[in-house]
Structures are given as structure tokens and as C-alpha cells.
Chain A
Amino acid sequence: MGTTSRKRIVVVGHGMVGHRFAQAAVERGLTETHDVVVFGEEPRAAYDRVGLTGWFGHADGAEGLSLLPGGEYDDPRVRLVVDSVVTEIDRAAQTVTVVSPPPGSRDVRQGALLDQQSQPGTVTIHDYDVLVLATGAAPFVPPVEGRGKDGCFVYRTIEDLEAIQAASLTATSGVVIGGGLLGLEAANALVQLGLDTHVVEMAPRLMPVQLDGAAGATLVRHIEKLGVKVHTGVLTEEIEGGEAVTGLRVRQAGTEEGAPTTVIETQVVVFSAGIRPRDALARECDLETAPRGGVLVDEQCRTADPHIFAIGECAAPGGTMYGLVAPGYAMAEVVVDALLDGPGTFTGADMSTKLKLLGVDVASFGDAFAATDGALELTYADAVSGVYKKLVVTEDGSRLLGGILVGDASAYGILRPMVSSGLALPDNPEQLILPASSGVSTGSTGGWGMPDEAQVCSCNDVTKAQIIHAVAEEGCETVADVKQCTRAGTTCGSCVPTVKNLVEEHFASLGKVVDKGLCEHFRLTRQELFDVVAVHGYRRFDDIVEAHGTGRGCDVCKPAIASILASQTSTHILERETVGLQDTNDKYLANIQRNGTYSVVPRIPGGEITPEKLIVIGEVARDYGLYTKITGGQRIDLFGARMEQLPQIWRRLVDAGFESGHAYGKSLRTVKSCVGSTWCRYGVQDSVGLAIALELRYRGLRSPHKLKGGVSGCARECAEARGKDFGVIATEKGWNLYVGGNGGANPAHARLLAGDLDTETLLSYLDRFLMYYVRTADRLQRTSTWIEHLEGGLERVREVVVDDALGLGAELEAEMARHVGGYADEWAETLADPAKLERFVTFVNAPDTPDPTIEFTTERDQIQPIAPALIPVGAPS
């Protein structure tokens, strides 16, 4: 050992909290001195367990939920090994034993329900300097007779979800045992699967931990309206059936054994009767656990062994385990802090919850049951609309202690921080829960009135002050910016309305209406303008600015309108009406370079090119003395052409069968390909063929920003398709379609929109996706930012594109068909029209005089511009 002073941290479990630990270790610089290895038992990297139900039934459920898309940390000093179980800790030797079962060998149902009976796998031993247990919790399955039958499930992992989904195909009815928070989540899943759903709860009400009787009763009324049958105060005696479940036999709680029972017919049973910390590893190496489970740790989350920590649901700081993600995140941060010799401690957590359960708002916060001495309750109930609200206040009515909200939890955003900050209550505290019409408005999702230190996002521990700081000092302008910058709102999402209010109120307080207008000439957004143009059928900028704007336009609105007009008509962009609107590059169908010359980029679809064509490019470059370079987009760029040379150069290229590559336009650039199944021994589809087809289909499509695509022939992804606005990856069965990727300054990985598509479906989804983007995105918004800003995000895109929720599918496809049909090469058309060619002169009155400011030198055998003499000026603003 010990040629290096770097230390090694082993993390057991890559769930939500283990992942947060690794993230924090990178962000706070712990990886400067420590290597981190994370072993995760599940077959994939951590995902958003909290959002499990929300993603039910969607094609990319697993992928879309991932907290670490791609499965690797950017920091190479953190290594994640999935599909590996830590089976033993040797504290004396400071090692762990890891068994890595071969992928795909786990029996999902059994693995989840019964003990982990892992297949014989590879056993390895790993040293640690620091061991962090983040093994989470396991669903508790009460010892009910028949619980091992086919059709019995728990609800915690993606595999559980998939198994339930598979079983639901042949089932008509499902029962959830447990009416707590998780049980209702599971019930929601069963409802979404179309099962006749029952919830069986032993306690006399739903969510007994969070709700009082009246709140629980209100919730039952809501849920029953959705067709869910709620059985409270009921015990499960037995699960009936042979090999497979046929029914659930129950009797009233409080009755004797042998009392009359009834049977609920069902084929699916989901146990949601609570969770148990997974603390076996700790117990087996003689670390103390709490009486009700959980590895006992101190305020720094350290066990009695100074080298071992426990965080998340497997831990019991001070003897209490916390079944929510926010306390787990806090523990992860505390341990990173401890390892950096920081002072952080975990001293308990806010167990407040706000959820939308089966579409019903439910919130419970602070001392919801008025356990504090002398606490008073104020309640408001409206049976008709199904609203129940309760505030728990101090004896003197001066401070809020807690509360419960059912049916309308909009006040949660303002109430919960009042509890944690101790803000004084108004004189008539009941106003806080009365409907807005009957008194002072609390600003519903509020926020502005709360103190700076009030915690707005409990999942990620973000205060109001931090959000205001992000907006006022760090340039965040939208909720999406704030999310990225502070993490607020990125977990359960319940604080997003408050964050939104804070952002808007901040700008309002500066007297600024959040102006989404394009520029000083138009108060409309690009999308609004798009619609205005479509509705009125405008074809000229003059008509648009006269009717809907002011002044004569600028370099922002003119190109935007040119692009909108191009999307709605198929006229050449250099027509007299529109040429003056085009961005510099579009105006000359080439990219301007620093010395006023241009670059020429012929289209090379999919990067495939014949030797003959390569020779033509070489000849043209040689004859015009152009600097030649292979681009990052699998084609060739010829630099240094004078404006007046462009038509001659293009004449040669067009004659040889080339066409414009649109390197200049906000339009489709390239569809990158890998060589695919034709040559590659791993390829499963013809990726080059598809890339070419896609590039030819969408070439010339004007869009809010440039568009790039990629097609890979197999999962090795050599075409980097997920780094593109649309990426296609071949599967054995067809194509997976990913959207919203880009490189550039803020790289984004494309996310799965739909999987295993045949080529025809792929094209129709892509047509819809691209047209939807062209129609609704803001100016200069790449697809990733557009999706991020879209209400509903990727899910919304999927609804529109895949589910055709707006019924727009056919229309979007027809628009694309018009584009495809109307496409013509811009350079060929330009060459054929003397009026358009007229503009390609440097000096109108001296057509034969070249621009004297353009000069070249030679470097590495090719030309290079000599920087023009700069007139000394201040830096461009």
C-alpha cells in the first residue's frame, strides 16, 4: 500500500443519496484528495425514485428518470460500478467484498420480494479508507400467508414497476396493501395501468402518519371519485390462489381471529406497508443499529467505527430513520463536509411533505398533529369542493407550528417556510387558509413576504435568499436558470411555483415587466410572431412591422422574421422581399470570416463522399487558393473566398453535383453518421443510409437555431448522436430516437423520445418534433433549451409528438411534407438568376477591383488571413 497519499472512499449503494454524495464530493473538491468508488446493486445508475410513478408506462421510463444519464461521472476520480452487491464488510482489514452478478440474471420479482439470492458472480475484494453506506431501504412485506404467489409485488425500483406493468396486461383488478404515502403512489400506478384499484389500510384513515381524521376523510372522497376503492380499518388475513393470486381475504381491524371475512378479487397485490432500512451489512459487522432499524450514526453521520458512515434511508442519526429524500441529501452533504474537516452536522429534518396523489394536492408540515403543549388548531373545511385545511398555531396565536392541506395546497409555499423561520403570524391567521375571496390574499404560492432565510426548496435546502441572489447577482432570468444554478425545484418539484413567483416578483420589484418581446421593434415573442404571420398570411416584413411592431427593425427581429417566413413559404431566401432581412451569412449563402472573406461548405450528406467528388473539392480549392479543413461536422470547409468569387466557385461545385451545405443558416447543418452495419462488425442497422436520408429530408429547413442530427449503427454510439438536436441509435428492432442534445458552451445529452421505431414511424415523429420546434421555440433557442423551457418539458414533447395529444400530428407532418417537396438548392437557384448574382460584387462602381484590405500570408502550405490594421477602439460591448 501507500505509494500515494490519495485516499479511497467506497460507497455502498447508488441510489438517490449515494449519487448526491458522489456529486457533492466532486463539487466540493473532495476528489482532489480522494478516489471514490460506488457499488450499486441495481442494473443502472441512480434514478429519481421519487418520480417513479410519474414516469409509469413511458417508453423511456428508465432513461428519463436517470440522475446520471450516461452512467458516468465527468470526474474520472469517481467510478461507478453497477450490478454489484457489497456482501460483506471486514472492518479490521478495511475491505469490502463485492459480488458482481452477470447482467440480466436477476429474477426481478424474487430479487425484490425475497432475499437477494444473487447468481454466482465474480467476487472481488476492495480496500477502503472511508466507507459510506447508502443502501437505502427495502419495502416491508408483512408476513401474510400467500405473499410469495405470482402476482405479488413491491414498489420501489424500476424493475418492480416493469414487473407490475407486465402483470397488469392480464389482470383486471389490483390491490395495494397500505394506505400511506407510498401506497397511494402505488395505487396511482395501478390506476394508470387501467386496473380496478383497491387500497387496503389497517389504520382508520389514509396517510395516518401525515393526516388527521378529517383530512384523511377528505382525501378518501377525492380518491373514490377516481374509482379507487378505499378500505380503511381493515386487516389482510390471507392472499388466496394457487400458484397465482386470485384474491385478498380481509377482516375488520379490531375483530377477533375467526371473525367474518370478505374477499377482494384481484390478480395483482402490491405491498406498500412501510419500509425497513437496509442495515444488514452494518449489523453483520457488529455496528450498532437503532431499535426500529437503521445504522446508528452521530451528527456527522459517523458510526462507532470512525472509518464508516451511513447516509440516507439506511441510516438512523440519533436513532431516527427518515423516509424522505431531503434528509438523505442533507446527510450526504454532511459527510462530505466531515471528510473535508468541516463543521457540518445533521440534527434532524423537516418532514414536511407536499404531494399530488392521484391528482389531489396533499400537504402536511411541521407539527401537523398539534403535539406541542398548548397548541391550537384552526381548521377550514369545504365538503363540496373537497378542501380541508388546518393550521396548528402556538397558544398565543403568534407563530405557526404546522398544518395539513388537502384538496388545495397552494398555500404550502408560504406556510411551510413560516414554520421553519418562526415568522410572526398576521393578526387573523385564519385568513391564511380561507379562500382568497373571503379575505386577504396570501399571494397563494407567495414567497415575497417570507424572510430571506426561509427555506423554499426543502429537497435541496435552498433558501429564499439564495434564490434571490441567483436572480439578482448571477444573472438567472427564468425558473429554469434558477433550477440549474441552485438546484431548487429539481427533485420533487413542489417548490417550483414559489420559485417562479420569487423570480417574477424580483423583476417586478425592479419595475420591470418580464419582457419576452423579441427586441425594441416587437413586443411579441418569436412564437407569437410565428402565429401572427401564419394567421394573417404575411409575406413581407413591412406589413408585419406596420401592423404589429414599431420602427424599421434590426439585426434581431429581421432574421427572425426571415426565418419564420422561410418556414411558412418555400421561397428563395434571396428574393427581393426578404434578402434585406437575412443575417449576414444567409445574405451571401456563405460564412463571413474575420477579414471579410467567406467560407464555402458544400453539403456532404452523412459524411459520405465519392473519390470523384473529393477530387473536385480539391481542384476547386487549389484553383482558388482556398484554405482547406475537415470540419467537426464530417465535411470540408474551404476558407478565404472573396465575395465576388463565391458564384464562380459554386458554379464549379454545383456542376459537379454539390449543393449548399447551409453552414451559414439557422437551419439543418449535418446529420453525422457512423459507418454502421454495412461495414462495422457491430452495426445492427444501416446508419449511413439513414443519416443521408435524414440530411436530405431536412436540408434547408429554417429553424429558430441551427439543427444537427446524428445516426449511430449500434449502442457504441460512434456518431455521437446523443450530442445532437436529434439523434438516432440503431437497435436490434429498429431505431431509438433521442432529442435535445447539443455541444457548444452548454452541452446537453439528448434524451430518449421513443424507442424501437421502424423507419416510417421514426420519420413521422421526427417531422412532428422538428416542426413543433420550428413553430414554438424562441429565437436562438436550441432544442435542449426549448424543451427545458416548455411547460411540461420532454413529457410535453412526447405527448404532442408521440401521443398526438394536441391532434396536431397530421398538420405538422403536412408542413414538413411541404418543406421537403418545396426544397431547392439555394446555390443552384442563385446561379440561375442574374438579379441575385448582381449583389456578389465588392465595389458596385469598380467590379474588377478586389478589396484591398484582404491580404494573406502562408502557413503550413496554405493561406492565412493577415489581420487588417485595426483602428484602435474600445472593446465591443
Chain B
Amino acid sequence: MTAVSSPWISTWVEVCAVDSIPLEGGVAALVHGAAVAVFRTYDGTVYAIGNVDPFSGASVLSRGIVGSRGDAPVVSSPMYKQAFDLRTGQCLDDASVSVATYDVAIMDDHVRVGSAREVP
């Protein structure tokens, strides 16, 4: 996709109020049938990545612990603890693994999740 997607276009799905995502916590949302994990980091930034943990196949990444590794904001999978970079979806414990990331927009204090970004 090359066209810049706009949050006003209906492919964006409103997920929840920003406040209902705990700081350094996550929630799961259903976005066009896909489970997406939406996190809020300590500085207030909201990120969205696929919710399915690639190592176990379970839809659980939103329930992981949010923190940092070096400069990267990360979530660690609640299943086997691998860390994923919230910005890129890259697994930091296995270079060959990553999960999808999604566009995020905040409007009227609510979080909207857009399409899956293309993997660079």
C-alpha cells in the first residue's frame, strides 16, 4: 500500500478510550477479524501489534509485561517470555521472527487502529 491511509477512512477501527489502556499495559482488540494487541508505554505512546504469539500460536501478547530493552519499548510474551519491539514487531530474541504492526491514531481521547503496516 502506497497511499497514505487516513484515520477518517472507515478501515480504521475505534478500540477504546486511551485511559482504559493501563500505562505500561495492553489490551486486545478485534480489528477486522484479527486480534490486535494495543499497548501504552510509560511516555504515553500507543502501539499496536498482532496479538498472536508466534512461538505458541496463542492469542496472548496483550497480556505480557511492557518495559524496555535498551532503547526499545518492548512487550515480553506471557507464554515463553520472548521480547518484541513495539515499534517494529521484531522479536529481539530471535532475528527470524516478527509480528505485524498496525497504524495507530488517537482521536478524541480514543484509540483507533488502522491497517497492518507492510514489513519493511
A residues adjacent to B (C-beta < 8 A): 520-521, 542, 551-555, 557-559, 576, 579-581, 583-584, 587-588, 592, 594-596, 838, 842-846, 849, 851-854, 867-871, 873-877
Contact call A520/B28, Cβ cutoff below 8 A = no
**Are A853 and B54 within 8 A (Cβ)?**
no
Query: Is B96's CB within 8 Å of the partner chain A?
Result: yes
**CB distance B41 to A552 under 8 Å?**
yes
Contact B25 A580 (CB under 8 A): yes
The docked-state distance in angstroms from the alpha carbon of A869 to that of B83 is 21
For B54, give its contact among A580, A854, A867, A873 (CB under 8 Å): A873
Collect the chain A residues with CB atoms within 8 Å of residue B29's CB: 843-846
| Closest A residue, CB atoms, query B60 | A596
> Which partner residue on chain A sits nearest B15 by CB separation?
A845
- Within 8 Å by CB of A867, from B30, B57, B59, B78, lies B57
The docked-state distance in angstroms from the alpha carbon of A552 to that of B66 is 8
Compute how far the CA of A844 lies from the CA of B69 in the bound complex, rounded to whole angstroms. Answer: 27
Interface flags, B92-108, vs A, CB<8A=1, else 0 = 01101100000000000
Q: List 21 A-B contacts (CB under 8 A).
A: A551-B68, A552-B41, A553-B68, A554-B68, A555-B65, A580-B22, A580-B24, A584-B63, A584-B79, A843-B30, A843-B35, A844-B20, A845-B16, A845-B30, A846-B29, A851-B35, A854-B59, A869-B57, A873-B55, A874-B94, A876-B94
> CB within 8 A of A554: which of B25, B60, B67?
B67
B contact residues around A871 at 8 Å (CB): 52, 54, 57
Contacts of A557 in B (CB 8 A): 67
CB distance from A453 to the nearest CB of B (A): 41
Contact of B76 among A555, A587, A845, A875 (CB under 8 A): A555
Contacts of A576 in B (CB 8 A): 22
Checking A558, A588, A854 against B65 with a beta-carbon cut-off of 8 angstroms, the contacting residue is A558
- A579-B80 in contact given A520-B69, A867-B57 (Cβ < 8 Å): no
Q: Give min CB distance, B100 to chain A, whole Å.
A: 11
Q: Contact check: which of A554, A844, A873 meets B16 at CB < 8 Å?
A: A844
Known: A553-B68, A843-B30. A853 touches B58 (CB 8 A): yes
Tell me, rounded to whole Å, the shortest Cβ–Cβ distance linking B97 to chain A. 4
Contact indicator B25/A579 (Cβ below 8 Å): yes
Cα–Cα distance between A598 and B55 once the two chains are bound (Å): 18
CB neighbours (8 Å) of A868 from chain B are 52, 56-59
Smallest CB-CB A-B distances: 8 pairs:
A868-B57, A584-B78, A596-B58, A552-B68, A555-B76, A551-B68, A553-B67, A554-B67
Residue from B63, B67, B83, B93 having most chain A Cβ neighbours under 10 A: B67
Residues on A with C-beta less than 8 A from B20 are 838, 844
Contact in complex: A551, B60 (CB < 8 Å): no
State whether the Cβ of B49 lies closer than 8 Å to any Cβ in chain A: no
Q: Is the CB of B94 within 8 A of A877?
A: yes
Q: Is the CB of A844 within 8 A of B27?
A: yes
Q: Inside 8 A of B79's CB, which chain A residues have their CB?
A: 584, 592, 594
- B13 lies within 8 A of chain A by Cβ: yes
B1-35 with Cβ < 8 A to chain A:
13-16, 20, 22-25, 27-30, 35
Residues of B within 8 A of A (CB): 13-16, 20, 22-25, 27-30, 35, 38, 41-42, 52, 54-60, 63-70, 73-74, 76, 78-83, 93-94, 96-97
Q: Using Cβ atoms and an 8 Å threshold, which residues of chain B touch A552? A: 24, 41-42, 66-68, 73
Bound form: Cα–Cα A637–B22 in Å: 30
For the complex, what is the distance from the CA of A558 to the CA of B75, rounded to whole Å?
12
A553–chain B nearest beta-carbon distance, Å = 4
On whether the beta carbons of A853 and B35 are closer than 8 Å, the reply is yes
CB distance from A576 to the nearest CB of B (A): 7
Contact present for A876 and B93 (CB under 8 Å): yes
Which residues in B have their C-beta under 8 angstroms from that of A551? 67-70
* B residues near A874, Cβ cutoff 8 Å: 94, 96-97
Measured CA separation A542–B41 after assembly (Å): 13
Q: Which of A558, A843, A854, A875 has the most CB of B within 10 A?
A: A843
Separation of A873 and B80 alpha carbons in the complex (Å):
14
Given contacts A552-B67, A552-B68, A558-B67, contact A580 B52 (CB under 8 A): no
The answer to whether B63 touches A588 (Cβ under 8 A) is yes
A596–B59 CB distance below 8 A: yes
Residue of B with least CB distance to A542: B42
Residue ID in chain A nearest B82 by CB atoms = A876
Bound together, the chains give a CA A581 to CA B42 distance in angstroms of 13
Q: A845 to chain B: which residues have CB within 8 Å?
A: 13-16, 29-30
Could you tell me the distance in whole angstroms from the C-beta of B12 to the nearest C-beta in chain A?
A: 12
Select A873's contact among B64, B67, B97, beta carbons within 8 Å: B97
- Tell me how far the C-beta of A129 lies from the nearest C-beta in chain B, rounded to whole angstroms: 53
Q: Quick check: A853 and B55 within 8 Å, CB to CB?
A: no
Least CB distance, B107 to chain A, in whole angstroms: 15
In angstroms, Cα B55 to Cα A594, docked, is 10
Chain B residues with CB below 8 A from A521, complex form: 67-68
Q: Complex Cα distance A842/B27, Å?
A: 8
In the complex, besides A552-B41, A870-B56, A873-B54, 13 extra interface pairs with C-beta distance below 8 angstroms are A554-B69, A555-B81, A557-B67, A559-B65, A580-B24, A584-B79, A596-B56, A596-B60, A843-B29, A845-B30, A846-B30, A853-B35, A871-B52
Contacts A846-B30, A853-B52 given; indicate if A873 touches B96 (C-beta within 8 A): yes
Query: Contact: B24 with A843, CB < 8 Å?
Result: no
Q: How far is the CA of A596 from the CA of B67 in the complex (A)?
A: 22
Q: What CA separation (Å) do A551 and B15 show in the bound complex?
A: 28
Cα separation A555 to B52 with both chains bound (whole Å): 18
List of A residues within 8 angstroms of B93 by Cβ = 876-877
Complex formed: what's the CA distance from A669 to B69 in Å?
32
Expressed in whole angstroms, the minimum distance between the Cβ of A106 and any Cβ of chain B is 58
Among A520, A869, A873, the one with the most B-chain Cβ atoms within 10 Å of its Cβ is: A873
Contacts of A869 in B (CB 8 A): 57
